[in-house]
Amino acid sequence: MREKPRKLQLPEKLRWNHNAWYRRWLLRQLPSRARSALDVGCGLGELARELKATGVVTGEVTAIDASARMIERASATGAGVRWIHGDVFTHDLGRYDVVTAEASLHHLPLREGLTRLAGLVGPGGTLVVVGLYMTATPADRAMEVVTLPANALVGLAKALRGGEQPHDPEMPVVMHAPTLAEIRAAAREILPGARVRRRLFWRYSMVWHAPQVL
Ligand SMILES: C[S@@+](CC[C@H](N)C(=O)[O-])C[C@H]1O[C@@H](n2cnc3c(N)ncnc32)[C@H](O)[C@@H]1O
């Protein structure tokens, strides 16, 4: 995979966390009732805690992360979530009515990652991904004409309200991401019917509903 080009950086005070920006949208993609949910690459566990807090999930919310430190810190919050320190590829997981991956798919090889995520979704279940893509095409750069000023404006608005930590210093990061074309092609092949949408702030979203009969 290619290196992600360096983005124009805002001054420190104006930087903010793009990963949580689509959280409310993500939660709106959930079915009205789900027996179980899994958050993949949960980091510090904010999304898993919110999945639990929605009350939509009648059974267990499980969250997995490959980083021992992330799980140590996430599990310190308890929150009624089952926290797992493990690799999503190798850990023995079941199938879930809801599977989420927020800013974690680009940590995995794309096709293998999508295949694994799909395999974790139970019949009729829902997969919701909010992920990063690499700016690579004229259309991507055209999007930046909107994204760059919007990024500064949101940063300014947040700074006026006290600021937001852009990135936890202990959060694992990788400096590469697939292109949107690569993501769309992989989704078409692995998750037929998945809806992939380009988003602001170098993000895309993907929603896939598994067939009722797998
Ligand atoms: C950029 S962080 C995003 C964390 C969180 N979802 C958020 O939005 O704040 C990506 C997370 O994916 C985790 N991760 C990477 N590879 C993984 C794997 N194979 N299995 C489980 N988690 C993984 C990393 O440890 C990291 O915490």
Name the residue type at position 32.
S
Domains belonging to the chain, first-starting first, are 18-134+173-209 (3.40.50.150)
Chain segment 149-190, per-residue pLDDT in tens: 999 999 999 999 998 888 899 999 998 999 999 999 999 999
- Euclidean distance between the first and final Cα of the chain, in Å? 31
Q: What is the mean pLDDT of residues 90-105?
A: 98
pLDDT value at residue 1: 45
- Residue 89 and residue 34: Cα distance in Å, rounded? 23
SS3 label, residue 21: coil
Q: Is the CB of 19 under 6 A from ligand 1?
A: yes
Q: What is the mean pLDDT of the chain?
A: 93
Ligand 1, atom 4, lies closest to the CA of 43
Percent of the chain as helix, strand, coil, to the nearest 5: 35, 25, 40
172 Cα to the center of ligand 1, angstroms: 7
> pLDDT of 45-73, one tens digit each?
999 999 999 999 999 999 999 999 999 99
Query: The whole model's pTM is what?
Result: 0.94
User: What DSSP string runs through 150-165?
Assistant: HHHHHHHHHHHTT---
Q: Where are the alpha helices (DSSP H) in the chain?
A: 23-28, 46-54, 68-75, 110-119, 138-160, 180-190
